[in-house]
């Protein structure tokens, strides 16, 4: 048998899709097309963040009620779709962000030199060869 025939990781990477939401056995909400669970999670987090950022400005935006509603729907929708549909460098978005943070921490913030796979506190001294007459 080939190795790819027995690769079970492919099944673990498949997205979890939601078509209907049930509460206590009763249908609460039904989506016309299935929606992925990560999209709903990122959408709800972004919605709460945008709502928290807009709350102080709501008294000033009473004359234009479509703007806060549009911002609370369009921005989370775009961020959720970006999270689910895009793969940067062949990685999922959260793995890409985690790798970028690790790179920033390990190589940008830590400026010590690397010698023999270890960080050095002092730079390696230069070796000076003297000319000798034989």
Rounded to an integer, the average pLDDT of 46-64 is 88
pLDDT of residue 25: 84
Rounded to an integer, the average pLDDT of 84-105 is 87
Quick one: CA dihedral 52, 56, 57, 59, positive or negative? positive
| Rounded Cα–Cα distance for residues 29 and 68 (Å) | 24
pLDDT of residue 74: 92
Collect all residues with Cβ–Cβ distance below 8 Å to 31 and sequence separation of at least 6.
Answer: 18, 19, 20
Mean pLDDT score of the chain: 81
Rounded to an integer, the average pLDDT of 52-67 is 85
pLDDT of residue 15: 65
Rounded to an integer, the average pLDDT of 8-33 is 74
| Rounded Cα–Cα distance for residues 35 and 18 (Å) | 5
pLDDT of residue 70: 86
Output the CA torsion 84→86→91→96 (10° steps): -90
pLDDT band at 58 (very low <50, low <70, confident <90, very high): confident
Query: Structure pTM?
Result: 0.60
| Rounded Cα–Cα distance for residues 30 and 18 (Å) | 9
Angle, CA 18 vertex, CA 87 and CA 52 arms, to 5°: 70
| Rounded Cα–Cα distance for residues 55 and 60 (Å) | 10
Q: What angle, rounded to 10 degrees, do the helices at 37-54 and 66-85 form?
A: 150
- Share of residues in the chain with pLDDT > 90 (%): 16
Tens-digit pLDDT profile for residues 106-128: 888 887 777 777 777 766 677 78
């Amino acid at each position: 048998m080939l190795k790819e025939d027995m690769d079970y990781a492919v099944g673990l990477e498949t997205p979890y899709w939601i078509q209907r939401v049930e509460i206590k056995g009763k249908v609460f909400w039904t989506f016309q097309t299935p929606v992925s669970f990560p999209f709903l999670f990122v959408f709800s987090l972004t919605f709460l963040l945008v709502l928290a950022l807009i709350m102080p400005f709501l008294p000033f935006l009473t004359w234009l009620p479509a703007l806060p509603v549009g911002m609370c729907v369009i921005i989370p929708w775009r961020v959720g779709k970006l999270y689910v549909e895009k793969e940067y460098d062949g990685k999922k978005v959260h793995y890409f962000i985690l790798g970028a943070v690790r790179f920033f921490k390990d190589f940008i913030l830590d400026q010590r030199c690397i010698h023999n796979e270890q960080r050095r506190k002092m730079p390696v001294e230069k070796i000076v060869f003297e000319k000798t007459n034989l």
